[in-house]
Amino acid sequence: MSLQFVGVEAFITAVTDVFPEFLRGKGRREIFLAVCCVLKLLLGLYMVTEGGIYLFQLIDLFAVSGVTLLWQVFWQCIVVAWVYGGENFMADVTLMIGYRPNSIIKWSLAVVTPAMCMGMFLFTLLKHESVKYKEYVYPPWGEAIGWLMALSSMLCMPCTLLFLLLRSKKGNLVQRWKHLSMPVFESHVEFYRQGLDEVHDCPRDLECNAVSASHSIIPHSATHSPISSFCKETRM
């Protein structure tokens, strides 16, 4: 049940953030949640039929695990570490927890994890065998349905990238890529980032409170570092 709550809530929150003007009114989110739960219930009824286990096996192998999951994790690491930037990611984590994590996290995200994911991805493809459940071997058309389910999510990332590159009018291909991959920070993010370099000077027992406290005691119009100010005031 806990996994069901997490999955449904993640979907509802994502859609609500995309369409806040429609779903953040009084009672609208609850209605949308109820509709999604009913639809998910209806879509899952085929799982309790006699052939439900065979459909479940296809979904489990191709849609939510195996090559699909490895492919998505690989590109998530690439996007965070190499497109958004490992240093930007480390700065965001520092901003949230109050101190800079060990750099091994950045290098694991940039090199180790994507290398392992791609290695396992290729190994899985090379060692792929006909899908079967107990003694039943799936026919070619059944396995083709599984690969279509896998490709429905795997192709989203490269197809979206290609679409954005073609739609952009910012010069040649290289200029378009630089424009699309350049992070854009809001002014309030830039303000709270200005003191991140001074977090290392803050006592370890105060680091976790530095960022959160600065949000409440330092106005946005201030011109000095929110983190360093908090550390100095606490030391006094």
- Extents of the domains making up the chain: 1-43, 51-155, 187-235
pTM here is 0.65
What is the model's pLDDT at position 185? 67
Which candidate, 166, 219, 173, 163, places its Cα nearest to that of 192? 219
Alpha carbons 197 and 232: distance in angstroms, whole number: 15
What per-residue confidence (pLDDT) applies to 74? Answer: 92
The Cα 98–Cα 211 span in angstroms is: 5
Helix-strand-coil split of the chain, %, nearest 5: 75, 0, 20
H or E element that contains 136: strand 136-137
Evaluate whether 99 touches 208 at the Cβ level (below 8 Å).
Answer: yes
Give the C-alpha separation, 226 to 169, whole Å: 39
Tokens of 25: 């009114």
* 77 vs 110: CA distance, rounded Å: 6
d(CA 39, CA 33) in angstroms, rounded, equals 10
Per-residue pLDDT of the chain (236 residues; tens, 9 = 90+): 677 788 888 888 888 888 888 877 788 888 888 998 899 888 888 888 888 888 888 888 888 778 888 898 999 899 888 888 888 888 888 888 888 888 898 899 999 999 999 999 999 888 888 888 888 888 888 889 888 988 888 888 888 888 888 888 778 888 888 888 777 766 656 666 665 555 444 444 444 444 444 444 333 433 344 444 434 443 44
The per-residue pLDDT for 229 is 43
Q: What confidence score (pLDDT) does residue 194 get?
A: 62
Amino acid at 199: V
Note the pLDDT of residue 112. Answer: 93
Residues 8, 35: contact at Cβ < 8 Å? no
